[in-house]
């Protein structure tokens, strides 16, 4: 290849067509977003903190026909925090259970009761499975 056919990489020359060249600069919004207008006498709502999602499912297979409710997705908690949460839930529900890995297993179908207990602890229960 001859030197006159090579594209310079020194930064001085344009490579040709600019795909944004046809856009109008005035069409773009510039500046800060407009501040929301507060109504007289009303204070703005506080920012809602998002609750951690946990999966709540019912399992029966491989347990001799016994039903167990599993709360999964608690891997972000430490072992002591998971054990404390399991202890509180067992006491509240009056059932047995155990911590296994990153999840909590409770005896019986406790999904309805957990939907009221877990949000008070900053968790968002989501039913998974069938």
Per residue in 20-52, pLDDT (tens digit) is 666 665 545 556 655 666 666 666 566 555 678
What is the C-alpha to C-alpha distance for residues 106 and 72, in angstroms, rounded to an integer?
A: 11
Average pLDDT over residues 91-106: 93
* Gap between the Cα atoms of 55 and 25, Å rounded: 48
Per domain, the residue ranges of the chain are 52-122
CA distance linking residue 104 with residue 125, whole number of Å? 13
| Class (C level, CATH) for 52-122 | alpha beta
What predicted TM-score, i.e. pTM, was given to this entire model?
Answer: 0.60
Confidence of residue 77 (pLDDT cuts 50, 70, 90): confident
Expressed in angstroms, the distance from the first to the final Cα of the chain is 67
């Amino acid at each position: 290849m001859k030197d006159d056919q090579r594209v310079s990489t020194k930064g001085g020359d344009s490579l040709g067509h600019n795909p944004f060249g046809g856009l109008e600069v005035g069409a773009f919004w510039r500046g800060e977003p407009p501040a929301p207008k507060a109504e007289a006498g009303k204070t703005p709502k506080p920012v809602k903190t998002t609750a951690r999602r946990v999966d709540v499912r019912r399992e029966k297979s491989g347990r001799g026909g016994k039903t167990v409710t599993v709360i999964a997705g608690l891997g972000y908690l430490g072992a002591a925090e998971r054990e404390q949460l399991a202890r509180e839930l067992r006491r509240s529900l009056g059932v047995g259970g155990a911590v296994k890995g990153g999840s909590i297993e409770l005896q019986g179908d406790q999904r309805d009761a957990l939907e009221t207990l877990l949000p008070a602890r900053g968790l968002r229960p989501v039913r998974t499975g069938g």
